[in-house]
Amino acid sequence: MTNENRLRTLHATQLLDSPLDRAFERLTRLAAALFHGAVPMLRFAADQRAFFEATVGHFETQAGDGFCDHVASLRAPLIVGDLRTHATLATHAEARDGRVLSLAGVPLTVAGEVVGAFCVAEAQPRAWTSDEVRALTDLAETIAAEISLRLALRAERDVAIHGPTDSLTGLLNRRGFSLIAEQAIKTAARTGQSLSLFFLDLNGMKGINDTLGHELGDQALVETAALLRRVFRASDVVARLGGDEFVVLATDAARENEEVVATRVRAAVDERNISSTQFRLSLSIGMSIYDPNAPVSLDRMLSDADARTHQQKQARHSRPDGSKTKRSS
Domain of residue 270, CATH code: 3.30.70.270
pLDDT mean across residues, the chain:
82
Q: How confident is the model at residue 154 (pLDDT cuts 50, 70, 90)?
A: confident
Asked whether residue 323 is domain-assigned, the answer is no
Q: What is the pLDDT of residue 127?
A: 95
Based on the domain organization, do 220 and 301 belong to the same domain?
yes
Mean pLDDT of 60-80: 78
Which residues, other chains included, contact 43 with Cβ-Cβ below 8 Å and sequence gap of 6+? 50, 51, 52, 53, 66, 68, 69, 72, 116, 117, 118, 119
Asked whether residue 212 is domain-assigned, the answer is yes
Based on the domain organization, do 199 and 150 belong to the same domain?
no
Highest mean pLDDT among 51-55, 110-114, 272-276: 272-276
Asked whether residue 310 is domain-assigned, the answer is yes
Residue 63 has pLDDT above 90, yes or no: no
> What's the residue count for the chain?
329
Asked whether residue 192 is domain-assigned, the answer is yes
Single pTM value for the model? 0.53
Torsion of CA 165, 308, 274, 205, to 10 degrees: 60
Q: Write out the residue range of the structural domain in which residue 254 sits.
A: 164-317
Residue 24 has pLDDT above 60, yes or no: yes
Residue 3 one-letter amino acid: N
Based on the domain organization, do 121 and 207 belong to the same domain?
no
User: What CATH number has the domain bearing residue 135?
Assistant: 3.30.450.40
Based on the domain organization, do 141 and 178 belong to the same domain?
no
Based on the domain organization, do 53 and 181 belong to the same domain?
no
Asked whether residue 21 is domain-assigned, the answer is yes
Based on the domain organization, do 149 and 170 belong to the same domain?
no
The residue that leads in pLDDT, 240 or 21, is 240
Mean pLDDT of 72-78: 91
Based on the domain organization, do 225 and 140 belong to the same domain?
no
Q: How confident is the model at residue 328 (pLDDT cuts 50, 70, 90)?
A: very low
Based on the domain organization, do 127 and 178 belong to the same domain?
no
Asked whether residue 86 is domain-assigned, the answer is yes
Q: Which of 59, 60, 77 is nearest to 68 (CA)?
A: 77
Based on the domain organization, do 142 and 169 belong to the same domain?
no
Domain stops at, among 123, 155, 187: 155
Based on the domain organization, do 172 and 269 belong to the same domain?
yes
Based on the domain organization, do 174 and 134 belong to the same domain?
no
Looking at the 3D structure of the chain, how many domains does it have? 2
Domain stops at, among 133, 155, 177: 155
Q: How confident is the model at residue 7 (pLDDT cuts 50, 70, 90)?
A: low
Asked whether residue 46 is domain-assigned, the answer is yes
pLDDT in tens, 251-284: 765 544 678 888 999 999 999 999 887 899 999 9
Based on the domain organization, do 149 and 237 belong to the same domain?
no
Q: Which residues of 12-23 are buried (b: 16+ CB within 10 A; e: fewer)?
A: bbebbeeeebee
Asked whether residue 105 is domain-assigned, the answer is yes
Phi, psi of 46 (to 5 degrees): -140, 125
State how far the alpha carbon of 66 is from the alpha carbons of 73, 117, 241, in Å: 11, 11, 39
Domain stops at, among 91, 126, 155: 155
